A and B are shown apart, each in its own frame.
Chain A
């Protein structure tokens, strides 16, 4: 195929893949019941179960969270343990197959189909650490969950979001001097772009922020502190950030449901954001002031 613009210096469109937010974020754990308690306190409701695997779908508003307790059978993927781990996220794109093949040509690692949580033909690549990144399309026409999931009877399949909560971003812990590598990875394969240091959201501004080409989702890359620089470079998805138009009132609602927030001198609830205490040893959520569906307002 000929590129019609190859005779002129026309820069590539900003959003090459037609990315349009996050379809789901997945946790892996061998003790799903404990995690489910945490998710329900955060406002998520169970809406569907996988027909053949130990996989459940939780939802509130536009956010889907998959809880995966199925043992993994491929190297370099998360093996569910008691401590829940953020094991995957799915980006919505215009054409998942095209995005996937483009990613492979650029140097992404393909995940064999049998290892994918939902048996559907949802293409996936290796992400940071043992996590996966899925490509999902046609999310507005029908749901990827319709085929392999069985709806839980008598529950609202579309529970409303508490306090307008929506996916805002993921925090990724990376090794020392690894920021440039991961910026390259996400910008090449997905079209994420680094934001200047002056543009920050929430109450935890460390590291480097990458903005999705659809400008609705952020990845925050955080290198270890100086003291931890010589420790083995463990890299993983650390926490989910939720956007909410009113942090203080959302915190209030969540506290009444039993969610605890950090109140240290450095990190505490404010209008800009809040951070929950770690549940089950590893599960934290961050709240960030942001209007749903809009590009985030920098502070």
Chain B
């Protein structure tokens, strides 16, 4: 039995968009994070990609990922605003309510916090008429925003009601960030938590971290840091996080396996997290809202 707030990511799976969505659904998930290229790269065009997602019956966790958006000048800024608008439109057509924005890793980007906050704020206002929330995620190899604490500071500075952070558990574990750092962040400001693990105990360099993050992630429960992950999401639960958990597992091996097989691994991960780690009993529809209402 899979809880409603766990979802898969189309980037974890091989094959056609329709095949990925069917595998996610068959494994018992009710939501899916959509990698933009899966939709716009649909062989019959972006409209067909949107239709496939809408017809799947799966809820869209969000669309990923707008990259290298903030801190640019002049023509580059205008270009990125156009890219952002296009992604917001696709997100809106999918019925998605969240756009994942990864902190810039561009050397052209200014590192000035005020400037970054202003750009994030503009992005958030662009998203308001469409009812989309912006989840800003720190990147370990970003010059300006390396982790969720830095992302949280910028989000606080930008101060827009539909701007929050996404936390990637991989980054937290790889950088050995203390779970107590979560105390500094308002749980209402956490819009998405991404979960994955990896096989080796230690990451020795930034290059190795980047390679691991993009090619060698595994599902929670399959890697070397199950205790750390369990600890992390127990803490999130304790501070009152009630948003979605998405498995952002990017693994070259999984892209050579049938999507059904990979989705079954995701299913095992969701069961482990829901039943063993969070010790939940019955899945309830609209869990997020009910829990939020109960807390209020």
Contact = CB atoms under 8 A, between A and B. Distances in A.
Contact of A109 (B85, B124, B162): B85
A115 B131 CA distance: 23
Contact of A181 (B85, B122, B123, B128): B128
Interface string B157-170: 00011100000000
Nearest to B124: A107
A47 to B, nearest CB: 32
A183 B128 CA distance: 10
Given A109-B85, A230-B286, A184 B122 contact: no
Given A126-B129, A180-B161, A235-B131, A107 B286 contact: no
A208 to B, nearest CB: 13
Interface centre among A109, A128, A188 (most CB of B within 10 A): A109
B39 to A, nearest CB: 16
A233 B128 CA distance: 13
Interface in B125-177: 125-126, 128-129, 131, 160-162
Interface string A181-210: 111110011000000000000000000000
Q: How large is the interface on A (under 10, 10 to 19, 20 to 34, 35 or more residues)?
A: 20 to 34
A106 interface: yes
Given A175-B131, A233-B131, A235-B131, A107 B126 contact: yes
Contacts of B289: 229-230
Contacts of B89: 75
Contacts of B121: 106-107
Contact of A108 (B125, B131, B161): B125
Contacts of A180: 161-162
A181 B161 contact: yes
B131 A184 contact: no
Nearest to B160: A184
B125 A188 contact: yes
A84 interface: no
Contacts of A229: 289
Interface string B257-296: 0000000000000000000000000000010010000000
Most buried by A among B85, B121, B131: B131
Contact of A184 (B85, B123, B161): B161
A32 interface: no
Contacts of A178: 131
Most chain A beta carbons < 10 A, residue from B129, B131, B160: B129
B128 A185 contact: yes
A109 B84 CA distance: 12
A108 B162 CA distance: 15
Contacts of A189: 125
A19 to B, nearest CB: 18
A214 B261 CA distance: 62
B128 A184 contact: yes
Interface string A214-236: 00000000000000011001010
B162 A181 contact: yes
A128 B161 contact: no
Interface string B61-79: 0000000000000000000
A126 B128 CA distance: 11
B122 A128 contact: no
Contacts of B124: 107
B53 to A, nearest CB: 16
Most buried by B among A107, A128, A188, A230: A107
A178 to B, nearest CB: 7
A265 interface: no
A210 to B, nearest CB: 14
A107 B131 contact: no
Interface in A127-151: 127-129
A105 interface: yes
A50 B58 CA distance: 47
B203 to A, nearest CB: 37
Nearest to B93: A75
A127 B129 contact: yes
B125 A107 contact: yes
A126 B124 CA distance: 15
A45 to B, nearest CB: 34
A127 B128 CA distance: 10
A48 to B, nearest CB: 31
A107 B122 contact: yes
Contacts of B125: 106-108, 184-185, 188-189
Contacts of B126: 107-109
Contacts of A128: 129
Nearest to B129: A126
A106 B122 contact: yes
A243 B128 CA distance: 29
Given A184-B161, A185-B128, 7 more contacts: A107-B124, A107-B126, A175-B131, A180-B162, A181-B162, A230-B286, A235-B131
30 contacts: A75-B89, A105-B122, A106-B125, A107-B121, A107-B124, A107-B125, A107-B126, A107-B128, A109-B85, A127-B129, A128-B129, A129-B129, A175-B131, A180-B161, A181-B131, A181-B161, A181-B162, A183-B161, A184-B160, A184-B161, A184-B162, A185-B125, A185-B128, A188-B125, A189-B125, A229-B289, A230-B286, A230-B289, A233-B131, A235-B131
In the A-B complex, the 8 residue pairs with the smallest Cβ-Cβ separation, listed nearest first, are: A107-B125, A180-B161, A107-B122, A107-B126, A181-B128, A185-B128, A181-B162, A126-B129
Interface of A: 75, 105-109, 126-129, 175, 178, 180-185, 188-189, 229-230, 233, 235
